[in-house]
Amino acid sequence: MRTTRHWGDRVDTRIAASADVDAQASVAGGTTVWHLAQVREGADVGADCVVGRGAYIGPGVRVGRACKIQNYALVYEPAVLEDGVFVGPAAVLTNDLYPRAVNPDGSLKSAADWSPVGVTLREGASVGARAVCIAPVVVGRWATVAAGAVVTADVPDYALVAGVPARRLRWVGRAGVPLEADGDGAWRCPVTGDRFVEVGGGAAIEPAAGPAAATTAE
């Protein structure tokens, strides 16, 4: 593990000797990049992140602060990960709507023959092990994608989705545990006490207003 200097006098960014971090990538202080991981040119990885063994972060990918990208996860450009995002082991964020190796005339496709589209993971979202997010889906704030799920449509904030294709099963709070019904379309986190209310006819939830929701205020 080598220590690098990227911001002023900070020397707490740790990059394993076997990791491949491009000279044109930006890795902020407090971040650890483990063995055999690859961070491509133009990628921007925020402070206090963990990039696990064998993980891949594509060119120009944006990773916020305090994210965890676990072993062998594949994050293809132009994905955007906001602060506090978790990407589980061997999860995949795709970037090609119509994948083909060749053009209709049989010629090998080049970079000019397709336009990448990215997955967006909003603040606090989690993607479980071996899950696949099909670009250009957006996984909402503090939502959870279960292990092995295949996400083909946008995921609402605070939703827990699972299956192939993924469907919403429950609502979850910032602690990641399922919310408990609290009457009249209200929900409560059993860990933090945060309260939420249904909106859009029950298609979504949002933090409740008032003192009881102080910890979830925007």
pLDDT tens-digit readout, 145-187: 999 999 999 999 999 999 999 999 999 999 999 999 998 889 9
| 49-67 pLDDT, tens digit each | 999 999 999 999 999 999 9
Give the whole-angstrom CA distance, residue 108 versus residue 114.
Answer: 12
State which CATH number among 2.160.10.10, 3.90.1640.10, 3.30.70.270, 3.40.228.10 fits the domain covering 2-174.
Answer: 2.160.10.10
pLDDT at 9: 41
- pTM comes to 0.91
CA angle 81, 192, 215 (to 5 degrees): 70
62-94 tens-digit pLDDT: 999 999 999 999 999 999 999 999 999 999 999
- Distance in angstroms (rounded) separating the CA atoms of residues 53 and 56: 9
Token pair for residue 32?
């650890």
pLDDT digits (tens, 9 = 90+) for 104-143: 999 999 988 999 999 999 999 999 999 999 999 999 999 9
Single-letter amino acid, residue 120:
T
Domain ranges of the chain: 2-174, 175-218
